[in-house]
A and B are shown apart, each in its own frame.
Chain A
Amino acid sequence: MTATTVMMATNAPTATHAAHTTTATHAAAVPHAAGAVPASAADLLLWVGVPYACLAVFAAGHVWRYRRDQFGWTSRTSQLLEHRWLRWGSPLFHLGAFMVIAGHVVGLAVPASWTEAAGIGEHTYHTVAVGAGSVAGAAMVAGLGMLCARRLLTRRIRLGTDRSDKLLFPLLSATVLLGISATAAHNVLGPGYDYRSTVSVWFRGLFALQPRPEAIADAPLLFRLHALTACLLFAAWPFTRLVHVWSAPVGYLTRPYLVYRRRAATAAAPSRAGRAA
């Protein structure tokens, strides 16, 4: 198990540069772990190499940015410059996103056998997932649409748009739109696609360190594209304003109202020590 981890972590980032040699290594290693039909080199690259590379960038990027750029670690509010669109767009997007994230946790991380053991049948699960998912998805799409619109249409906001925003907004929009189209095409309008036996198996395999690329390889195109853009979104995460997610101020609920600090403590803040090195 440990050997696999090390190999994945070291090989993954180079995968994009030297696809042939690395995938060959994976091809030798993975059938062991998965114990299923051998996956093609392209599948290994897309469903093992790319996800692990993205996760590595996600983790290392956060460490780097937290240590180097406390000053830039912010939600980058622009409410001062534009508040009419933001007033509806931002709460819709954020609350929708919370529901969508919760839905993904249930759909991806929890195996179907667990929900069935809890007495939730496939039909009930499907109905709730599609119902709540549609509401959440619609809220998120509407909110994100408004946030994108104000960013494009309000000149003040457009000029204040950072390079990282130019990466984040299209990537986030693509992920959200692909996700909601996949659900709409297959589960709302279509006959229904059981991603819990394919995409979710692949997803859990990544974290169990027993990659199952073959599980997602035959999923419908929209699901695969959604999974890929999501991987890229995670890779971009630490370099964008998304870092403010980790600063969600829940500690505020319990801390005393007044904050006093000694002058000496101000100068010896941990971030400054990190930067001086």
Chain B
Amino acid sequence: MPRGKAAVGRVMAQVAMVMNLDKCIGCHTCSVTCKQTWSNRPGVEYAWFNNVETKPGVGYPRRYEDQRQWKGGWTLDRRGRLVLRSGGRARRLLSLFSNPDLPAIEDYYEPVTYDYDNLVSAPAGQDVPVARPRSVLTGEPTAVTWGANWEDGLGGAPEHAGGDPNLTGAWAQKVKFEFEQTFLFHLPRLCEHCLNPACVSACPSGALYKRVEDGIVLVDQDRCRGWRMCVTACPYKKVYVNHATGKAEKCTFCFPRIEAGQPTVCSETCVGRLRYLGLLLYDADRVGEAAATPDEQDLLDAQRGVFLDPHDPEVAAAARASGIPEDWLAAARRSPVYDLVSRYKVALPLHPEYRTLPMVWYVPPLSPVLDAVTGAGGDQDDPDHVFAAVTRLRVPLEYLAELFTAGDTDVVAGVLMKLTALRSHMRGRSLGGDGDETALKAVGFTAREAEDLHRLLAVAKYADRYVVPAAHKEDAAALTALENRCPVESAGESAGRRVMLGMPALRRSTTGDRP
């Protein structure tokens, strides 16, 4: 145990997420339902709190992972202290007037709507009427040239995918974007609700905050003054400027649903059933130390070291002392996220090298390796072929390592071997045999553990995937105050008359607030 016998500090709970990437079919249902729920308003047409991007690919916004350009996340200074990559406090205040590292709307895409009215109102004529695209920003006809997942399914990959910032180094040249020789998978992304959130740390107004109770990172719309430093600081580019209100908005982790004990909209509507929600207990006093771990490749273990074992009586005592209720402790013990992250260690964080300690983790996809096995003439179903591929086929492995382990291929290979052994064992069991216990032993699983993991990953019952304890009724007053309003809108909206001096009349009327 990396934690050793150190005393447990302040215990906090966080509702965290894991996604099993092998199951993602890139259907974008999560993105669409999220958009319908949260960002179908003027000013955030271009913003996707949840998006699904094709990997390899440049992502959304374009090349957001290139932190030499965008300056997101944290870095260590010469003395090993944690500093925001976009600069210290004074530097930040000096760039208030013009933020040199803010993505422009073109880096996302120009939002469009269509002249649907023309379809029914066009005069009778020779030609079939069409709905032409029209820019939401200028109201003028425009050509659609980019989108949030323009290279879906590697469409246009030979042209664009080489721009993927993860494709650096000598091995990257071996990634071929030709039909027979390539691999792809989908990467659904939302706000990571980090333990060490760079957006919170960069906000000059202190409007962004992390909730003590459930770790959700939110923007206080009444305190945001539009300094737009959060957008730069977030290495995942998951804080957006609402260009109609001039304020920052981001994924809320559907906190009204979480408070009611329900899964987020993206999780609830995921047709692939690949998302998991559950509690992680962590030691808030060790966050800074873990984020400042010198070697990037040790960050994964450092972050796992911050998480606390809810089954440990000492942890439970410390959690009670920190005010975590008993039913939350019980939920933490049943947490599928804890199992995937810390018990079976098959989930990995996205870009741990950004040092924000992200809290949405991913079970890396085996499919790129399986594709490569088939491509090389091997048999996907033979675990020996897959094991051999995992150790020898560097290309997909190094790419996954770039995404999930700061380049450490051994860790990714270890996880993929676990998944392979699990497949092989359970295939044997389903066909009436005893399963492949030698393969299991090689990756350190017992038959019982394999069954449990199989149940969690493959059977994936609703009640096993989502273990979300409801918020506590002691806070009933707080919950009532929240329930009538849209959390990204003004709190005064439900009170009837609303003052919106800061809203252009054009956009004011589209929000239904006609004077």
B-contacting residues of A (Cβ < 8 Å)?
Answer: 65, 68-81, 83, 86-88, 90-91, 93-95, 155-156, 159-165, 239-241, 244, 247, 249-253, 255, 257-264, 266-269, 271-272, 275-276
User: Is the CB of B175 closer than 8 A to any CB of chain A?
Assistant: no
From A69, A259, A260, contact of B501 by CB (8 A): A69
Q: Bound complex: CA of A65 vs CA of B98, how far in Å? A: 26
Q: Are B478 and A267 in touch, CB under 8 angstroms?
A: yes
Q: Bound complex: CA of A45 vs CA of B206, how far in Å? A: 44
Q: Are A263 and B226 in touch, CB under 8 angstroms?
A: no
Binary A-proximity of B498-515 (CB < 8 A = 1, otherwise 0): 011111111100000000
From A71, A95, A266, contact of B500 by CB (8 A): A71
From A79, A241, A263, A276, contact of B99 by CB (8 A): A79
**A-contacting 9-mer, from B133-141, B146-154, B176-184, B275-283:** B133-141
User: Is the CB of B11 closer than 8 A to any CB of chain A?
Assistant: no
Binary A-proximity of B348-370 (CB < 8 A = 1, otherwise 0): 00000000000000000000000
Q: Are B222 and A269 in touch, CB under 8 angstroms?
A: yes
- Nearest-CB distance from B479 to chain A (Å)? 8
* Chain B residues closer than 8 Å to A71, beta-carbon distance: 221-222, 245, 247, 490-492, 499-500, 502
Q: Bound complex: CA of A230 vs CA of B501, how far in Å? A: 21
Q: Bound complex: CA of A250 vs CA of B225, how far in Å? A: 13
- Given the known interface contacts A72-B503, A239-B501, A267-B478, the answer about A252 and B210 at a Cβ–Cβ threshold of 8 Å is no
Q: Are B477 and A79 in touch, CB under 8 angstroms?
A: no
Q: Bound complex: CA of A24 vs CA of B28, how far in Å? A: 73
- Nearest-CB distance from B95 to chain A (Å)? 9
Q: Bound complex: CA of A87 vs CA of B224, how far in Å? A: 22
* Chain B residues closer than 8 Å to A83, beta-carbon distance: 98, 102, 104
Q: Are B213 and A262 in touch, CB under 8 angstroms?
A: yes
The total number of A-B Cβ pairs within 8 Å is 195
For residues 194 through 243 of chain B, which have their beta carbon under 8 Å from a beta carbon of chain A?
Answer: 196-197, 200-201, 203-206, 208-214, 218, 220-228, 241, 243
Q: Are A78 and B243 in touch, CB under 8 angstroms?
A: yes
From B138, B224, B225, B241, contact of A159 by CB (8 A): B138
Q: Are A74 and B225 in touch, CB under 8 angstroms?
A: yes
Q: Bound complex: CA of A239 vs CA of B500, how far in Å? A: 10
> Whose C-beta in chain B lies nearest to the C-beta of A262?
B212
- Given the known interface contacts A76-B502, A160-B507, the answer about A253 and B90 at a Cβ–Cβ threshold of 8 Å is yes
* Chain A residues closer than 8 Å to B481, beta-carbon distance: 267-268, 272
User: Is the CB of B93 closer than 8 A to any CB of chain A?
Assistant: yes
- Given the known interface contacts A76-B226, A83-B102, A249-B227, the answer about A258 and B506 at a Cβ–Cβ threshold of 8 Å is no
- Given the known interface contacts A77-B241, A80-B105, A244-B225, the answer about A72 and B499 at a Cβ–Cβ threshold of 8 Å is yes
A-contacting residues of B (Cβ < 8 Å)?
Answer: 89-90, 92-93, 96-100, 102-105, 137-140, 196-197, 200-201, 203-206, 208-214, 218, 220-228, 241, 243-247, 259, 287, 471, 475, 477-479, 481-482, 490-492, 495, 499-507
Q: Bound complex: CA of A71 vs CA of B508, how far in Å? A: 13
Q: Are A75 and B501 in touch, CB under 8 angstroms?
A: no
Taking chain B's interface residues, is the majority helix, strand, or loop, or is none over half, making it mixed? Answer: loop
Q: Are B495 and A73 in touch, CB under 8 angstroms?
A: no
- Given the known interface contacts A80-B241, A263-B471, A267-B481, the answer about A73 and B502 at a Cβ–Cβ threshold of 8 Å is yes
From B104, B205, B244, contact of A249 by CB (8 A): B205
- Nearest-CB distance from A269 to chain B (Å)? 6
- Given the known interface contacts A251-B206, A253-B90, the answer about A162 and B502 at a Cβ–Cβ threshold of 8 Å is yes
A-B contact pairs, 29 of them (CB 8 A): A68-B492, A70-B222, A70-B223, A71-B245, A72-B500, A73-B225, A74-B224, A74-B246, A74-B502, A75-B227, A77-B228, A81-B137, A86-B98, A90-B97, A94-B97, A162-B503, A239-B501, A240-B501, A247-B225, A251-B206, A252-B205, A263-B213, A266-B211, A268-B478, A268-B481, A269-B223, A272-B222, A272-B491, A275-B495
Q: Are A263 and B205 in touch, CB under 8 angstroms?
A: no
Q: Are B478 and A266 in touch, CB under 8 angstroms?
A: yes
- Nearest-CB distance from B11 to chain A (Å)? 13
Q: Are B471 and A74 in touch, CB under 8 angstroms?
A: no
> Whose C-beta in chain A lies nearest to the C-beta of B502?
A72
From A75, A81, A162, contact of B243 by CB (8 A): A81
Instruction: With a 10 A CB-CB cut-off, give which of B96, B225, B241 has the most chain A CB atoms.
Output: B225
Q: Are A247 and B246 in touch, CB under 8 angstroms?
A: no
* Chain A residues closer than 8 Å to B490, beta-carbon distance: 71
- Given the known interface contacts A69-B500, A79-B102, the answer about A263 and B475 at a Cβ–Cβ threshold of 8 Å is yes
* Chain B residues closer than 8 Å to A262, beta-carbon distance: 211-213
> Whose C-beta in chain B lies nearest to the C-beta of A83?
B104
Q: Are B502 and A266 in touch, CB under 8 angstroms?
A: no
- Nearest-CB distance from B75 to chain A (Å)? 14
> Whose C-beta in chain A lies nearest to the C-beta of B215?
A260
* Chain B residues closer than 8 Å to A72, beta-carbon distance: 499-503
- Given the known interface contacts A76-B502, A81-B105, A241-B502, the answer about A258 and B138 at a Cβ–Cβ threshold of 8 Å is no
